A = this chain, B = another copy of it.
């Protein structure tokens, strides 16, 4: 995996507007004007964010005259998620330890979402 590609992907994701654009594109392709609508931003400002996403390969823009829809590209995000995968073991272990601690403290209900009714009876 190319480290610079990963750095570009993570840098592109490090902005709430760019993440919102990706979120919108995950529901289907959209023109730049459509992408700009929900934001209180000028078209050039949105275009600037789009260019960062395009350089990172997260978005491609079609070449159809006039409309030129933007489309999500899956691969860079998948590579970033794959990079994170080994750390999943780490946070799952941490959660297991937290659960053990809560169980030992006699607070199983807090981790399982079950609550004993007020009258103290369970069917």
State in angstroms the CA–CA spacing of A90 and B58 once bound together.
12
Stretch in A5-13, A31-39, A61-69, A99-107 touching the partner: A5-13
Q: Sample 18 A-B pairs with CB under 8 A, ordered by A number.
A: A4-B16, A7-B15, A7-B16, A10-B10, A10-B14, A11-B11, A11-B14, A19-B83, A22-B87, A74-B95, A77-B90, A78-B87, A78-B88, A78-B91, A81-B81, A81-B84, A81-B87, A84-B84
Q: Is the interface of A mostly helix, strand, loop or mixed?
A: helix
Name the distance in Å between A26's Cβ and chain B's nearest Cβ: 6
Name the distance in Å between A71's Cβ and chain B's nearest Cβ: 11
Interface size (A, Cβ < 8 Å)?
32
A121 within 8 A of partner (CB): no
Known contacts A6-B13, A10-B13, A74-B91; 16 additional CB pairs below 8 A are A3-B16, A6-B16, A7-B14, A7-B16, A9-B14, A10-B11, A11-B14, A22-B87, A23-B86, A26-B86, A74-B87, A77-B84, A77-B91, A78-B88, A81-B81, A84-B84
A48 within 8 A of partner (CB): no
State in angstroms the CA–CA spacing of A9 and B19 once bound together.
13
Q: A84 — which chain B residues lie within 8 A by C-beta?
A: 77, 80-81, 84
